[in-house]
Amino acid sequence: MNFWTYIGDSYPQIITLLIEHVKLTAISVGLAILIGVPLGILIAYASKANKPVLTAANIIQAIPSMALLGFMIPLLGIGTVPAIVAVVLYSLLPIIKNTYTGIENLNPQTIEAARGIGLTPLQVLTKVQIPLALPVIMAGVRIASVTAVGLMTMAAFIGAGGLGYLVFSGIRTVNNNQILAGAIPACMLALTVDFIIGLVEKLVTPISLQKGDKAEKIKKRTVQKAGLGAAAVLLAAVFLFTSIGTGNQEGRTISIGSKDFTEQEILGNLVADLVEARTDIKVNRRLSLGGTQVCAGALKSGDIDLYIEYSGTAYTDMLKYPPISDMEKVYETVKKEYGERFDLAVLKQMQFNNTYVLAVSQETAKKYGIGTVSDLSRIAGTMTSGTTFEFSNREDGLTGIENTYGFKMGNKLTIDGSPRYTALAGGEVDVVDAFATDGLLKKFQLKTLTDDKHFFPPYFAMPVVREEALEECPELPGLLEELGVLLTDDVMAELNYKVDELQQTPEKVAGDFLRESGLIS
């Protein structure tokens, strides 16, 4: 599939995500202006507040964006609120600093003359200082606005939508068309925002400070005002139109979440489609939220009501038990303790076991005669691993398997998502972690190594639901059990392959499977 074919097939989704991106960016920049400009004026008048305010803004700017989101999620949950708050905080520095600089660097004689003709301090500020400082202030707003467009792509990590969804989904599935479908509109949006703010900057700059013929400047300004007015009306209409129907929904409603990789998006859509088709429950889809901690936190806080977890992940990562291979013990322990500690119901396990595996290229497997992890241990010291962040930092991950099999990798790289497969194909790493049902294993034709010492715990998929949601929607266990019986290892691997290699959307793959299996009509 070429780029233009992908655009033709996916343009409704791209337009929807673009509108989400514009709305989130506009709200964030608007709030940043409302906060930053008054703060800039304040520190221009109260010199003692200068250093503390600018220092705080500089510190916020220095915090990595993903780290800031990590701090936000426990406090604000997931969705648009933490994304907007994060972008507002990042946008404050240029606005505050330029406002302060613009007012502080005005000619003192001009200010003195304004006072000399009897203007009050407020009149001096509103009629002299702000108008003269506006070009500098708007330059800060311009920088903040363009930066906000790029920063808002991270909103996709916490279910807020926007063009970042396409970019990160494309990276995970090695789909360059999808990456470009998100990156190009984001770039065009940034250029458009820069152009519009540039026009506003000219409009707010006093005519006396602009070069050229006065009559010509007035004529040009009239045209610019008309254009900006039309753009503002159009933007307001889009906001209003897209907001219709997004208010409170009557009847039963459930929010379904998922982690941020292919299989989880398919599972999220499978559950959502099944629930919508077979019940009167309305579903809010909060898919591709992030890793285990993000989804579990969203579930405990009530931001979502249900998502599919894996038994081994819950046992080791959430409950902090050392990994074991006893499937029944793992499941029963998780079910019991999730109920007691988190008030969460763990439903019946599905049929497929998406356990961790180590994988190498076919060439490496033949060259060294590798078929098991024990075989790998003989030569691990000369090899480079490329593993995900979660696998690198978990007891049931790289450290645990090294201890169990008694080897140390020669070199360790942490590469999240599908780029580790690309690195393996390019010879930059020798071994990667993967999931047993990962469609990219088939796409890259990799050799999975047998865990001959049975280190990895079972990772059977299991729905986790808030108790309150289960009481309101008691038909959920029966529906999800019907679905879970059909999802074997081979079936799940094939569904993943359709997304990862055949470039079908998770929504289409899920819908097709449910219809073909007779679960929905």
- 30 and 19, same domain (yes or no): yes
DSSP string for residues in 276-333: HHHSS-EEEEE----SHHHHHHHHHHTS-SEEEEEHHHIIIIIS-PPP---HHHHHHH
With contact defined as beta carbons under 8 Å apart, do 384 and 420 qualify? no
pTM of the full structure = 0.73
- 268 and 401, same domain (yes or no): no
Residue 180 CB neighbours (<10 A): 17
Residues facing residue 446 across a β-bridge: 361
Quote the strand ranges of 362-518, DSSP E.
384-387, 411-414, 431-435, 446-449, 461-466
Burial code (b: 16+ CB inside 10 Å, e: under 16) for 353-369 equals bbbbbbbbbeebbeebe
Q: What is the pLDDT along the chain (521 residues), one digit of tens a residue?
A: 678 887 887 888 889 889 989 999 999 999 999 999 999 999 998 888 888 999 999 998 888 887 787 777 777 877 788 889 999 999 999 999 999 999 999 888 988 998 889 899 889 898 889 888 988 999 999 999 999 999 898 877 777 778 888 888 787 767 788 889 989 999 999 999 888 888 887 777 766 656 666 666 666 667 766 767 777 777 777 667 665 545 555 678 999 999 888 899 999 999 999 999 999 999 999 888 877 888 888 898 888 999 999 999 999 889 989 888 899 999 999 999 999 999 999 999 999 998 889 999 999 999 999 999 999 999 999 999 999 888 887 778 898 999 999 999 999 999 877 788 889 989 999 999 998 898 888 888 999 999 999 998 899 999 999 999 999 999 999 999 999 999 999 999 999 999 888 888 899 999 999 999 999 98
- 124 and 227, same domain (yes or no): no
Burial code (b: 16+ CB inside 10 Å, e: under 16) for 399-434 equals ebbbebbebebeeeeebbbbebbbbbeeeebbbbbb
- 349 and 361, same domain (yes or no): no
Q: Is residue 454 in a domain?
A: no
- Distance (Å, rounded) from C-alpha 1 to C-alpha 503? 8
- 226 and 201, same domain (yes or no): no
For residue 411, give the CATH number of its domain. 3.40.190.120
- 340 and 362, same domain (yes or no): no
For residue 502, give the CATH number of its domain. 3.40.190.10
142: domain range? 3-205
- 271 and 407, same domain (yes or no): no
- Residues, the chain, total? 521
- 219 and 303, same domain (yes or no): no
